[in-house]
Chains A and B, each alone.
Chain A
Amino acid sequence: ILNVEQSPQSLHVQEGDSTNFTCSFPSSNFYALHWYRWETAKSPEALFVMTLNGDEKKKGRISATLNTKEGYSYLYIKGSQPEDSATYLCAFSGSNDYKLSFGAGTTVTVRA
């Protein structure tokens, strides 16, 4: 079982504010790091797949960075909106196969 940790477990953000949270993962045998957004009663939505140290990906107001040497990734939300309220999951794969090890998620609540 691979240790993937997300911090914080939950956070509340005022509409318009920016926020970020972390995912830590084993720095050895790294292959890829995934971020998903999961809204209640919906499918987890794939946000990013990152494979290279120093990768930065952006999708609208959401962006992510990757540091494979120290084993962490940040997800940033700029100018939070109520529709950003969801649980954000990161998942690590340590070799060139399909198995993903998930963190427990960070639940973001954006207050209007």
Chain B
Amino acid sequence: SAVISQKPSRDICQRGTSLTIQCQVDSQVTMMFWYRQQPGQSLTLIATANQGSEATYESGFVIDKFPISRPNLTFSTLTVSNMSPEDSSIYLCSVEVSGGGSSYNEQFFGPGTRLTVL
């Protein structure tokens, strides 16, 4: 398993500003991801945070809007840029941990950052 912390846990921001969310893991992991859950919607993968290279974004998400850093194997940041009310969501980071042997790798999640944009 993995213990994941996120900062901030919640924030209320003004339209047009940017917020950077931090994710810290208690062990080195290769695969690290960022998700969001908009109100009433499913958890949706934003991007895979790659250590030492640019993040891999899913369809509908772009680097200019959600720049991601991954300076090492235990830390990543997600920035929500030029925010609008539609960005109000819970943002979660997750990591994939090897199940060992033939076990399926599992994903573990941070507690999330609850963002409200006014």
Contacts and interface: CB of A to CB of B under 8 A. Distances in A.
Interface of A: 4, 32, 34, 36, 41-44, 46, 49, 51, 89, 91, 98-105
Contact of A98 (B92, B96, B110): B96
Nearest to A100: B107
8 contacts: A41-B9, A43-B111, A43-B112, A49-B99, A98-B33, A98-B48, A99-B45, A104-B40
A46 B106 contact: yes
A102 B94 CA distance: 14
Contacts of B106: 34, 46, 49
A46 B43 CA distance: 14
Contacts, number: 46
B44 A46 contact: no
Interface of B: 4, 9, 31, 33, 40-45, 48, 92, 96, 99, 104-112
Contact of B104 (A32, A99, A102, A103): A32
Contacts of B92: 43-44
Of A49, A51, A98, A99, most B-chain CB atoms within 10 Å: A98
A41 B43 contact: no
B45 A100 contact: yes
B105 A98 contact: yes
B111 A42 contact: yes
